A and B are shown apart, each in its own frame.
Chain A
């Protein structure tokens, strides 16, 4: 096996699974293979995808962020109430939401780095904080009626004869491309992988370990906020319970996409494939109609397990080769 192929084995496996899954579903269910279905993969999973991009960066650096779902929920309700109840212009409310999310992520990153606290504990506390704050803002759903915002949600496009609302998908794809470029072609992206591979070595090489880690959490927080915001474009309203359990889905998609959970190795395109797989499973369950929705979680969990075991084997093989 050539080194290039071996390094990309996890992503290739994920791609193969996605193609097989989608093909099987297309044969099994009529009308599954359609433009509408394909585009809905991107639109209805836009929030998950955006958040997964941020999660990928954090996991690259060997961290984890459990607060993303709650931050998304907070931004979701925060933006809606600021526009609706406090008379803010939608653009101001959205900007404020993104800034808060980024600052919150940076604060968690600082606590994790400077006080050497475990990432999962700090972000778990962050998750409780953000979710409780969301509940405090408003427990009922808030519909946004501002004309500018309604205009935004009403952007339509025609794709091969079917009308879709492409805005969430466009944001997702932009974030994905940006995330890919940052991870692949910038110094920050390489620093992330170096820190995730071995913090000690990265420090000895003179890399800005603290700055890199805090930056990763800040971006992740900001993207979580953007994910929550994107959902308001789909529903046209804010809800404090949005994003419950989304952090687990995001972690699952990153791992299924072949990124090593211990950090230091992975690929942004794998995350896209992970989102596509989770989305396809949800579509299949919706198409079938006889399967209960709980299967989504079970299948996601099983895939997560399978990929982690697969990674272990791969890692062992690599170590054996090096030894």
Chain B
């Protein structure tokens, strides 16, 4: 109880920054568009900008879940966008070849995602290749594999059962964010209510020490890339089903930066050793809100990354050791 009222304790929580950003964006939006927070009911579904943000932000949210774990081990996964495209292409091709049952398609998608993650994981953990490079390979090759699967074309997806993932409603709420929320909750339970989360943090904090302590660090590292691949598969399903189209060249393009950004702003350090799901979750929502806000203010979608890039650099600089040293020097000088 007393902890709640001490500002110093909750100000240190990583979730504070994305929350503050969200609040700021909320105020900006209140000024710019009156209808931002209004949620109306149409045909028994809730519609509104906030709902749209959650719905369109779901692929990014789920990507950042996997990315959080990878970064917690001190790694990085640049291939998620390409994996999304490969998965989308797989689903579209399977469904265009006659009647395949939906569970089959989903299983195949998840299998492909896990396989991609496994390749990354093996290269990083047993191949001892730097994560940037190991995942770069799939990032490059993936943009060749995806068009190869579809024959170079975009494929329309007309199966309503599949498109339900991206466009359907349960109790008037969109399905995609509900799936994402459940997955976040499951991941949290799995990692925080068992030792797995601790293993991941240990492997990221000090790999050698963890190995001497008897932890199979290679296996833990491999695992997080497989999870990241699975997350990319889910993101690929959600993204392609919401627009009913698989585009092997553009699906998931640039989504890796958004995911990394969400993780960093959410308070998970790129050096590894710690992770924070709540922070990532809020930061990913904040990022999507920021994007939508920029569109509202009149920034073209192609130009929006410019401001996002500035923001991510500013956030990184503020959190850097150098800035902290400058600040403490400044404080000391102010005190004397």
The answer to whether A and B come from one shared complex is yes
Would you call B26 an interface residue if the criterion is a C-beta within 8 Å of the partner chain's C-beta atoms? no
Q: Which one of B9-17, B43-51, B311-319 contacts A?
A: B311-319
Contact yes or no, B302 A135, CB < 8 A:
yes
Contact yes or no, B300 A297, CB < 8 A:
no
Q: A120-B132, A121-B270, A296-B144 are in contact. Are A139 and B302 (CB under 8 A)?
A: yes
Contact yes or no, B257 A301, CB < 8 A:
no
Contact yes or no, B257 A125, CB < 8 A:
yes
Would you call A312 an interface residue if the criterion is a C-beta within 8 Å of the partner chain's C-beta atoms? yes
Q: Which one of B60-68, B133-141, B167-175 contacts A?
A: B133-141
12 further contact pairs, Cβ within 8 A, besides A125-B313, A129-B306, A136-B306: A115-B320, A115-B321, A117-B316, A121-B316, A129-B305, A132-B304, A132-B306, A132-B309, A133-B306, A294-B146, A301-B138, A309-B127
Would you call B310 an interface residue if the criterion is a C-beta within 8 Å of the partner chain's C-beta atoms? yes
Contact yes or no, B144 A298, CB < 8 A:
yes
Q: Which residues of B contact A309 (CB under 8 A)?
A: 127, 129
Q: How far is the CA of A306 from the CA of B151 in the complex (A)?
A: 26
Shortest distance between the CB of A26 and any CB in chain B (Å): 25
Q: Which one of A12-20, A90-98, A244-252 contacts B?
A: A244-252
Would you call A267 an interface residue if the criterion is a C-beta within 8 Å of the partner chain's C-beta atoms? no
Q: How far is the CA of A304 from the CA of B139 in the complex (A)?
A: 12
Q: Which residues of A contact B129 (CB under 8 A)?
A: 308-309, 312
Q: How far is the CA of A251 from the CA of B127 in the complex (A)?
A: 19
Chain B residues within CB distance 8 Å of chain A: 76, 123, 127-130, 132-134, 136-148, 151-152, 254, 257, 260, 264, 270, 300, 302-310, 312-313, 316-317, 320-323
Shortest distance between the CB of A170 and any CB in chain B (Å): 29
Would you call A148 an interface residue if the criterion is a C-beta within 8 Å of the partner chain's C-beta atoms? no
Contact yes or no, A132 B317, CB < 8 A:
no
**In the complex, which range does the number of interface residues on chain A fall in?**
35 or more
Q: Could you say which of A120, A125, A261, A312 contacts B76, with CB atoms under 8 Å apart? A: A120
Q: A294-B152, A301-B137 are in contact. Are A116 and B320 (CB under 8 A)?
A: yes
Q: A120-B76, A132-B303, A248-B136 are in contact. Are A297 and B309 (CB under 8 A)?
A: no
Chain B residue nearest to A261 in the complex (CB)? B133
Q: A125-B257, A128-B257, A132-B305 are in contact. Are A308 and B133 (CB under 8 A)?
A: yes
Q: How far is the CA of A69 from the CA of B267 in the complex (A)?
A: 30
Shortest distance between the CB of B116 and any CB in chain A (Å): 12
Encoded as 1 (CB less than 8 Å from any B CB) or 0, chain A from 295 to 320 comes to: 11111111011001100100000000
